[in-house]
């Protein structure tokens, strides 16, 4: 009989590999790793607990955002929906305490869900977010939303009346109770009746029940006793600012250079301001030509070829509409606010597909100043297909703007101040599967595509999963679509997490002879090593990254949806790495099963390669597996898998629970050319909480059979 041979393998800190033949995996890789992290050299450890805290809303979450208010207090906002008629933004402080809500309204249930995506990006030159959503980004005339949020946290408030003076930041109220109903960051609007409003400014300080101080001087004089509304979210109102103007305080005539006054919306009164300090110039009375208007009185301040801003004195400032011509997908780049995927509205000779593929940009320093004429400040983004395809996401890098479509990604480059130098080139033919899964990382960006998960660092494009998921990803993702599929992403401690809802796995993993196919999975990629694992029951529904957070540790937070009732919770990503059942943070089983989750986790699982010991034809007598491990609450079950079979045979004994690192072996007798094994902490049907599980190197003992004995 041949002597006993021992081969030692270093563990699986290279992650999982579903691409290579199962008998040719690298020594540092495994076939499957479920609920495992490979963030420490030489070992695979169980992920930490999903610790979601208390319920934040009874509706389902779809997005997350954060902003500092004008008084520099951090506020959070979660988008929630009942998938039918109730859609709101719930506001929280830095310790996740509920503060108030904003009612979005609308019935968006096209696919039995909330809008296809919720989307936020920073506001140009201000602390705040441009808030966006679309019922269906492939259809121009369906409901969508676009607005600004500056950190306000209360519902609309309009009790009493106001008095304001143009040029003064102080606003006085009568019959108002502002101390308990208003927060910094809310927008003050004059209520003109009939659904029309006049924007006055952003609240900075609540001095008393009857005194407010605005962030900047009030734009208009109102009152005494004018009706008003204070709101946490307001819609965008396109302003004018094309060209430059000259005027004198002794005349009502304003002359322009490069202006387009005749394109001002008919039936609206416009007020002109000097852009430099927003000092009031006057109201437009008559439009003589593209380059000349007459004010209703002599100009209040003189201009000498100055930049200006024109603001409608009456506008609906709606957040929910189907006529956002300039698009509802925002980004800040080169000191301008960019918007994409709009409606054709009143643009002459435009088609719906063309407008969905058009990129608009604002003036420098003002996110609402546009040239919305057909030959104005816009760029048509090409499509490889003969029909223009919609823009689905934007992401700004230091020197280029990435423009994502379903089947391709384009980049905008050039000189920031000279639009004539701007060029659009195609980066790759690997578009995006889900707009909410575009995630910035360091100086680059990561996104899921039909061919895998890609990362672009500004220079080099890399498929992060080509060598680990390969055809498994391609076939399993073939049924996903940005139009109806849902996915969200986050980064934490140099790991990219991608949660996909409604995932249809090509094939599953086994415990004994039972195949398991979760319908919602979270892919976890170590961005330094490239190692990939799968996490069960980490149902990300939006994320924010905080630099400071009160009594909460500064880290990434993410939304999750509870499976039993669809309600909203906020989780902290640090528990995934540190919640191991020891120290100040209690470990153990997840707080609950997320929507679409397979079962409560963590449920550590690892499947090795099929080892042939350098000779796949000679039969071996496999005798033992020896493993460095610790598993403090549950024993580790071991399945022996012979040759290329998928079913495993569970050994009669398990690796006993141990709260300290230990090196143990399990003996068995199996004959065959190849051997693999599976380790898992919970048997099928067992939902007992699991504590720490860590796996280090392992060794396999075997004896060779006679040559030719196959």
CB-facing half-sphere around the CA of 319: CA atoms within 13 A: 19
Instruction: Say yes or no: 377 and 462 in one domain.
Output: yes
Where a domain ends, among 171, 206, 231? 231
Establish if 91 belongs to a structural domain: yes
- Please give the torsion angle defined by the CA atoms of residues 295, 307, 239 and 123, in that order, rounded to the nearest 10 degrees: -150
- Same structural domain for residues 654 and 689? yes
User: Distance (Å, rounded) from C-alpha 170 to C-alpha 668?
Assistant: 83
The residue among 312, 287, 304 whose CA lies nearest residue 220 is 312
Q: Among 438, 455, 432, which residue's Cα sits nearest to residue 395?
A: 438
Instruction: Say if strands 87-92 and 98-103 run parallel, antiparallel, or are unpaired.
Output: antiparallel
**Residues 32 and 76 grouped into a single domain:** no
Q: How many CB atoms lie within 10 A of CB 277?
A: 10
The two tokens of residue 16 are 């999982």
Give the per-residue pLDDT at 477.
Answer: 85
* 261 and 184 within one domain: no
Q: Distances from the Cα of 473 to the Cαs of 450, 469, 534, in angstroms?
A: 8, 5, 12
Asked, for residue 611, whether it belongs to a domain, the answer is yes
User: Could you list the residue range(s) of the whole structural domain that residue 207 is in?
Assistant: 161-231
Selection from 567, 439, 570 nearest residue 76 by Cα: 570
Q: Has residue 209 been placed in a domain? A: yes
In a domain, 236, yes or no: no
Domain boundary among 286, 312, 338: 312
* CATH number for the domain that contains residue 614: 2.60.120.260
Of 207, 231, 255, which residue is a domain's last?
231
User: Is there a domain that residue 213 lies in?
Assistant: yes
Does a structural domain hold residue 522?
A: yes
pLDDT of residue 585: 40
423 and 551 both lie in a single domain: yes
Same domain, residue pair 458 and 555: yes
Check residue 385 and give its pLDDT. 80
First to last CA, the chain: 16
- Sequence length of the chain is 710
CA distance 189 to 536: 47
Give average pLDDT by consecutive 10-residue segment, the chain, 710 residues: 90 95 95 94 91 91 94 94 85 92 72 72 92 81 85 96 97 98 98 95 98 97 96 93 96 96 80 95 95 96 96 90 80 95 62 81 92 90 87 95 96 94 96 92 95 96 96 87 86 94 84 88 95 95 78 77 94 82 57 85 93 92 96 92 94 92 95 96 78 93 79
CATH of the domain at 412: 2.130.10
* CB-based contact 31:44 (threshold 8 Å): no
**Same domain as 274, residue 198:** no
Q: Do 541 and 466 reside in the same domain of the chain?
A: yes
In this prediction, residue 367 carries a pLDDT of: 93
Together in a domain, 630 and 695: yes
| Residues 43 and 168 reside in one and the same domain | no
Q: Are residues 542 and 394 in the same domain?
A: yes
Residues 342 and 485 grouped into a single domain: yes
Residue 155 belongs to some domain of the structure: no
CB atoms within 10 A of CB 44: 27
- Write the DSSP assignment of 569-591 as a string of letters: EEEETHHHHH-SSSTTS--SS-S
237 inside domain? no
Backbone dihedral angles phi then psi of residue 562, each to the nearest 5 degrees: -70, 135
pLDDT of residue 113: 59
Number of structural domains in the chain: 4
Token output for 127 = 């602390």
- Residue 369 CA to residue 686 CA, distance in Å, equals 60
């Amino acid at each position: 009989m041949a002597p006993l041979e021992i081969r030692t393998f270093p563990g699986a800190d290279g992650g999982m590999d579903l691409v290579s033949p199962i008998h040719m995996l690298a020594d540092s890789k495994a076939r499957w790793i479920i609920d495992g992290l490979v963030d420490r050299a030489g070992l695979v450890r169980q992920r930490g607990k999903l610790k979601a805290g208390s319920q934040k809303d009874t509706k389902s979450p779809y997005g997350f955002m954060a902003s500092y208010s004008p008084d520099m207090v951090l506020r959070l906002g979660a988008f929630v929906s009942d998938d039918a008629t109730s859609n709101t933004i719930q506001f929280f402080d830095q310790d996740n305490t509920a503060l108030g809500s904003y009612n979005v309204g609308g019935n968006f249930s096209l696919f039995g869900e909330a809008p296809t995506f919720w989307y936020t990006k920073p506001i140009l030159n201000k602390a705040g977010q441009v808030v966006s959503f679309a019922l269906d980004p492939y259809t121009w005339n369906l409901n969508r939303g676009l607005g600004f949020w500056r950190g306000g946290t209360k519902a609309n408030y309009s009790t009493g009346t106001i008095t304001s003076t143009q040029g003064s930041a102080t606003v006085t109220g009568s019959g108002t109770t502002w101390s308990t109903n208003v927060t910094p960051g809310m927008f003050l609007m004059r209520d003109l009746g009939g659904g029309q409003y006049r924007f006055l400014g952003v609240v900075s300080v609540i001095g008393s029940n009857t005194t407010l101080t605005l962030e900047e001087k009030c734009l208009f004089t109102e009152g005494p006793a004018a009706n008003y509304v204070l709101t946490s979210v307001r819609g965008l109102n396109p302003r004018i600012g094309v060209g430059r103007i000259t005027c004198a305080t002794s005349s009502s005539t304003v002359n322009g250079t490069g202006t387009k006054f005749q394109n001002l919306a008919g039936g609206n009164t416009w007020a002109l301001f000097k852009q430099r300090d927003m000092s009031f110039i006057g109201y437009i009375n008559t439009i003589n030509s593209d380059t000349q208007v007459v004010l209703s009185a002599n100009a209040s301040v003189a201009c000498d070829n100055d930049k200006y801003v024109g603001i409608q004195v009456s506008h609906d400032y709606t957040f929910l509409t189907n006529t956002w011509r300039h698009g509802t997908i925002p980004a800040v780049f080169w000191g301008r606010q960019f918007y994409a995927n709009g409606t054709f509205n009143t643009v002459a000779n435009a088609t719906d597909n063309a407008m969905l593929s058009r990129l608009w940009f604002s003036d420098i320093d003002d996110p609402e100043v546009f040239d919305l004429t057909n030959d104005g400040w816009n760029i048509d983004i090409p499509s490889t297909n003969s029909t223009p395809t919609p823009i689905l996401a934007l992401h700004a890098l230091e020197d280029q703007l990435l423009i994502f479509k379903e089947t391709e990604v384009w980049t905008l480059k050039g000189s920031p101040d000279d639009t004539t130098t701007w060029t659009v080139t195609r980066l790759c033919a690997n578009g995006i599967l889900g707009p909410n899964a575009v995630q910035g990382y360091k100086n680059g960006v990561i996104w899921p595509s039909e061919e895998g998960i890609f990362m672009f660092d500004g220079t080099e494009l890399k498929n992060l999963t080509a060598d680990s998921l390969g055809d498994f990803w391609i076939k399993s993702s073939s049924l996903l679509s940005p139009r109806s599929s849902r996915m969200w992403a986050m980064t934490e401690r140099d790991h990219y997490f991608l949660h996909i809802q409604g995932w249809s796995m090509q094939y599953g993993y086994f415990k004994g002879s039972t195949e398991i196919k979760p319908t919602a999975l979270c892919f976890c990629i170590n961005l330094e090593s490239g190692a990939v694992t799968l996490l069960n029951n980490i149902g990300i529904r939006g994320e924010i990254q905080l630099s400071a957070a009160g009594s909460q540790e500064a880290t990434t937070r993410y939304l999750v949806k509870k499976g039993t009732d669809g309600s909203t919770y906020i989780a902290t990503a640090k528990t995934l790495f540190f919640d191991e059942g020891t120290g100040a943070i209690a470990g153990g089983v997840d707080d609950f099963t997320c929507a679409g989750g397979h079962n409560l986790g963590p449920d550590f699982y690892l499947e090795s390669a099929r080892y042939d010991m350098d000779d796949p034809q000679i039969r071996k007598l496999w005798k033992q597996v020896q493993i460095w491990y610790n598993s403090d609450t549950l024993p580790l079950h071991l399945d022996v898998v012979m040759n290329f079979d998928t079913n495993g045979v569970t050994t009669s004994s398990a690796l006993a629970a141990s709260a300290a690192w230990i090196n143990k072996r399990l003996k068995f007798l199996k004959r065959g050319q190849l051997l693999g094994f599976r380790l898992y902490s919970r048997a099928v049907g067992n939902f007992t909480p699991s504590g720490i599980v860590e796996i280090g190197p392992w060794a396999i003992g075997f004896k060779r059979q006679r040559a030719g004995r196959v």
